[in-house]
Amino acid sequence: MSESTTAILEAAAATETQSVKLSMQQALNRALDEILSNDPKTVVFGEDCGQLGGVFRITDGLQAKHGGSRVFDTPLAESGILGMSVGLAMAGFHPIPEVQFDGFAYPAINQIVCQIARMNYRSRGTLPMPITLRVPSFGGIRAPEHHGESLEALFAHVPGLKVVSPSDPHDAYHLLKYAASRPDPVIFMEPKSRYWQKGDVGTSDGGTLTGARVVRPGRHLTLVAWGAMVARCLQVAELAAEDGIDVEVLDLRWLKPIDAEALATSVGKTRRAVVVHEAPLTSGLGAEVAQLITQSCFDTLKAPVERVTGFDVPYPSGDLEDEYIPNIDRILLGIQRVLEYRRG
Q: Write out the catalytic residue numbers.
A: 147
> How far from chain centre, in Å, is Cα 125?
27
Nearest C-alpha neighbor of 248 from the set 211, 219, 226: 219
276 in Cβ contact with 249 (< 8 Å): no
